[in-house]
């Protein structure tokens, strides 16, 4: 495991021998290390069910959720390190602020055309919901963004997770924020920065079709910028 001590500003790999009595998860091994071997180890986790996204880390060189990574071979050596591409605070904890700043940069909220109809919610058909449903699976774990080769070179690039959030609202039939969101995504630090490496889609633990979502945002931006409003959500 790659441990980082902020007091000495030193990182070092340390090996731990952890018993595995039944198929378990990497998160279970981390708990064992903290409870039985070294209480100074720190890592984030919350739901332990693959829902909160707080325990994303690099496991055997791939970004994954520790609670969703099964271990069934007790003799196996597993490498664990913090997510790449973000500043490390301590051990497996990274500073998520640059990630959240990029997320906020795409206006990731519904911009309604006006007040909601009196006495009821803004309605939407199942077909309209299906248009962006896959993107709602995002849990903001940052596995995609921190594996993206463009983001790793240039952190001003919004990154895959932010663009998935943009997709979720651009293709929502209730959203009227095109003119707000267009200047936020239609540039090289937005959707046009994507080089279609597919590493984001491979990393996503939630099955979000990240690369496809970004491609759709690109296509929408080209159409919106050219004034072809009738094609807005095709």
Task: Provide the binding-site residues for ligand FES, judged by CB under 6 A.
Answer: 45-48, 50-55, 65, 67
Tell me, residue by residue from 153 to 182, as one string, x for binding to ligand SF4 by CB under 6 A and - for no binding. -------xx--x------------------
Burial environment of residue 19 by CB neighbours within 10 A (0 to 12, 13 to 18, 19 or more): exposed
Residue 105 CB, nearest approach to ligand SF4 (Å): 15
- Quick one: 146 exposed, middle or buried, by C-beta within 10 A (0-12, 13-18, 19+)? buried
Of 19, 20, 18, 15, whose CA–CA distance to 2 is shortest?
Answer: 15
Q: Residue 50: which of ligand FES, ligand SF4, none does it interact with, CB under 5 to 8 A by kind?
A: ligand FES
**161 interacts with, out of ligand FES, ligand SF4, none, CB within 5 to 8 A per kind:** ligand SF4
Find the shortest distance in angstroms from Cβ 140 to ligand SF4: 5
Shortest Å, Cβ 71 to ligand SF4: 21
Q: Helix axis angle, 160-170 relative to 97-104, nearest 10°?
A: 30
Does the protein bind ligand SF4 through residue 92 (CB under 6 A)? no
Is 139 or 214 the residue whose CB approaches ligand FES more closely? Answer: 139
Q: Of 203, 214, 217, 221, which one interacts with ligand SF4 (CB under 6 A)?
A: 203
Q: Which is nearer to ligand SF4, 160 or 190 (CB)?
A: 160
Element (H, E) at 64: strand 62-65
216 sits in which H/E element: helix 210-225
**Burial tier of 89 (Cβ tally within 10 Å: 0-12, 13-18, 19+):** middle
């Amino acid at each position: 495991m790659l441990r980082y001590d902020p007091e000495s500003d030193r990182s070092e790999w340390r090996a731990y021998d952890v018993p595995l009595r039944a198929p378990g998860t990497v998160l279970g091994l981390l708990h064992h290390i903290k409870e039985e071997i070294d209480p100074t180890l720190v890592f984030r986790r919350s739901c332990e069910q693959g829902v909160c996204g707080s325990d994303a880390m690099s496991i055997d060189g791939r970004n994954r959720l520790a609670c969703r990574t099964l271990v069934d071979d007790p003799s196996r050596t597993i490498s664990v390190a913090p997510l790449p591409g973000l500043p490390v605070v301590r051990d497996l904890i990274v500073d998520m602020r640059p990630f959240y700043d990029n997320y906020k940069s795409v206006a990731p909220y519904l911009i309604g055309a006006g007040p909601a109809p009196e006495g009821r919610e803004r309605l939407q058909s199942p077909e309209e919901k299906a248009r962006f449903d896959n993107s709602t699976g995002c849990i903001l774990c940052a596995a995609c963004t921190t594996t993206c080769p463009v983001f790793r070179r240039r952190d001003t690039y919004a990154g895959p997770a932010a663009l998935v959030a943009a997709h979720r609202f651009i293709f929502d039939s209730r959203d009227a924020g095109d003119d707000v969101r267009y200047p936020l995504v239609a540039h090289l630090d937005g959707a046009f920065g994507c080089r279609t490496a597919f590493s984001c889609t491979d990393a996503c633990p939630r099955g979000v079709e990240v690369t496809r979502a970004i491609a759709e945002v690109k296509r929408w931006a080209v159409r919106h910028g050219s004034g072809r409003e009738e094609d807005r959500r095709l």
